[in-house]
């Protein structure tokens, strides 16, 4: 049984009618959480657990699964109250969990109880999640993946390799897409699972980045076993489940900040204010243009959130991710141009693991290097332009010669 957006798991207070009533209910719940669990005096886990129990982790989720069953646009109302009181930004603490795993679990877990079992420790960040999608031979062509899952009674035996897996070295659980039928076309032979990252046969190897950090990883699965109860969606319906993950991923990454002047543009503005000795008219003009672009993206995100409903995101979520990724790179390129030769000095190389210290973002040089991944992760800009062209503008799709051939007959390098 799937857990849909309209499912009510536990009974809650009688909702007030209309958008205004929903907003008041969300804000009242947020103020009560702050009053009863002051984030400045209780542990982070206790505070986030209280948010989940009050339905404020994802307000558009069903009651009992961390939500209130209202418009997803009201999440900003809750977040403003919680974070103004000193509460953390949960997405920054568990990005794959909050942005991608949670909506996938809510929609496709086999039972509501199973979804709740995963969602609460995810919300408190007790359980960190990762996403096992990309492979050495299947990056942008995700449906071409080769990792296999073979049924053995009430379990599945998994063999294969995944790559570029963010936070796999810290994760307790993983979203896994694997091939269960090689004799049908590539999109039809996939099944979706939740994998215990500490299970026998699962090995994680860090990949050192040019930033000096090891945020990404390779993950090897050698006869790793997954209970069938940890399957999401039907056997062979993995591509449909994966679309839930990917659409939410792009929306989460491209959502941007809800407050004026915040986000990555704040880094450029702060650097400009700190270094008046480096100002030139040309750089001033570039900064003004970047700030305008960032504000346009923020307002577009606000409009999208204001009109959002409990329904999951569609292909339009690719717009924010595409624009935001390229804008981030432009902002940090500006910062390097402002610093000039000083921008080549990177004295903190490989000294700390930023994925274990959420308060540390690294020097501006590190952020510049990290931004190069923005147009690759979560869907390359080229793939996103294809999605926007085909699904929003209605342009003809690319030629796909292998769409009707059994996967095992498709040549692979």
Which residues participate in catalysis according to the annotation? 249
- Confirm if 298 and 260 have CB atoms less than 8 A apart: yes
Alpha carbon separation from 258 to 159, 162, 177, 272 (Å, rounded): 42, 34, 32, 22
């Amino acid at each position: 049984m799937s857990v849909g957006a309209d499912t009510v798991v536990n009974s809650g207070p009688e909702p007030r009618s209309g958008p205004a009533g929903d907003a008041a209910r969300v804000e009242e719940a947020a103020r009560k959480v702050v009053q009863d669990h002051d984030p400045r005096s209780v542990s982070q886990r206790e505070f986030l657990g209280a948010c989940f129990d009050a339905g404020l982790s994802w307000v558009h989720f069903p009651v009992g699964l961390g939500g209130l069953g209202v418009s997803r646009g009201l999440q900003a109302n809750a977040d403003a109250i919680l974070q103004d009181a000193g509460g953390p930004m949960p997405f920054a603490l568990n990005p794959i969990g909050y942005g991608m795993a949670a909506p996938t679990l809510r929609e496709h877990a086999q039972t509501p109880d199973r979804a709740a079992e995963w969602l609460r420790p995810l919300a408190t960040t007790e359980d960190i999640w990762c996403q096992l999608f990309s492979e050495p031979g299947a990056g942008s062509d995700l449906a071409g993946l080769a990792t296999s899952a073979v049924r053995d009674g009430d379990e599945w035996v998994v063999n294969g390799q995944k790559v570029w897996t963010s936070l796999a070295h810290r994760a307790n659980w993983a979203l896994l897409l694997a091939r269960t039928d090689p004799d049908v076309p590539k999109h039809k032979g996939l099944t979706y699972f939740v994998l215990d990252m500490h299970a026998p046969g699962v090995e994680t190897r860090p990949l050192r980045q040019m930033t000096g950090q090891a945020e990404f990883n390779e993950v090897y699965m050698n006869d790793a076993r997954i209970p069938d109860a940890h399957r999401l969606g039907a056997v062979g319906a993995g591509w449909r489940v994966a679309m839930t993950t990917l659409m939410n991923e792009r929306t989460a990454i491209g959502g941007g900040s809800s407050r004026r002047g915040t986000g990555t543009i704040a880094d450029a503005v702060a650097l400009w204010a700190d270094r008046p000795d480096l100002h030139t008219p040309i750089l001033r003009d570039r900064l003004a243009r970047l700030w305008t672009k960032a504000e346009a993206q923020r307002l577009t995100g606000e409009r999208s959130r204001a009109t959002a409903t409990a329904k999951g995101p569609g292909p339009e979520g690719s717009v924010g991710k595409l624009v935001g990724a390229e804008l981030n790179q432009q902002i940090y390129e500006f910062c390097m141009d402002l610093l000039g030769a000083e921008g080549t000095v990177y004295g903190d190389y490989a000294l700390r693991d930023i994925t274990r210290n959420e308060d540390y973002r690294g020097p501006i040089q590190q952020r510049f290097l990290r931004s190069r991944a923005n147009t690759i992760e979560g869907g390359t800009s080229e793939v996103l332009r294809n999605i926007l062209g085909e699904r929003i503008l209605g342009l003809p799709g690319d030629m796909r010669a292998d769409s009707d051939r059994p996967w095992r007959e498709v040549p692979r390098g």
